[in-house]
Amino acid sequence: MSAGTLRSRILRAVLIGSTLLGSWLALQAVHELGHVLGAAVSGGRVARVVLHPLTISRTDLADNPQPLVVAWAGPLGGTLLPLGLWLLSATLRLPGTFVFRFFAGFCLIANGVYLSAGAVAGIGDAGDLLRHGVPGWCLGLFGALTVPAGLWLWHRQGRHFGLGREPGDVHPAVAWGAATVCALLAVLGWLLGQ
């Protein structure tokens, strides 16, 4: 194997690994940010946000006068904020826009599956929404809209990650930038989780 091939494989592994892990960590952050914003606009008071990288994130509220607003704000913020980030990066024509597109798709799929599956099991935000009167079909509809949209965003993006029939070259700055963001998210989550 030549040095160029090895370098290309390393860059591809760094980009894919950091994009996947970074998307998971950032998904939790934007989802919880949605809950925090929902609490802020509805008169609630946040007691604690848990973002530790080795746990599932959560937002604990000291006061929650509008539980429906806060419960919906997580999945809605967790999908709309990444979509806005992707659209902004596309508008600015940033070199790593495909990473933001992947992240937006990841968040659409994850939040859609989370609410749909949670509606069946009655857990998490879906359980809270059901207990406060939201019909299960609304949660299923959320998933039916967001999951296909996320898959559409992922369609034909493999080439940017150096995958597929016609793989593109992985740009070193994008790969190492994704790795840096991933590391920062992990450290931030670790510090906030203490």
Q: Which domain holds residue 120?
A: 3-192
- Average pLDDT of the chain is 94
Query: What is the pLDDT at residue 4?
Result: 66
Which whole number is the average pLDDT over 20-31?
Answer: 97
> pTM for the complete prediction?
0.94
pLDDT for the residue numbered 58: 92
- For residue 53, how many other CB atoms are within 10 A of its CB? 18
Is residue 9 very low, low, confident or very high in pLDDT (cuts 50, 70, 90)? very high
Contact 111, 119 (CB under 8 A): no
pLDDT band at residue 54 under the 50/70/90 scheme: confident
> In the predicted model, is pLDDT for residue 96 greater than 70?
yes
Nearest to 182 by CA among 20, 31, 56, 67: 20
Residues 175/26, Cβ–Cβ less than 8 Å: no
**Both tokens assigned to 3:** 């040095």
Instruction: State mean pLDDT over 88-115.
Output: 97
pLDDT digits (tens, 9 = 90+) for 175-188: 999 999 999 999 98
Q: How many domains does the chain have?
A: 1
Cα–Cα–Cα angle for 136, 147, 83, rounded to 5 degrees: 110
Q: How many CA atoms within 13 Å lie on the side-chain side of 18?
A: 24
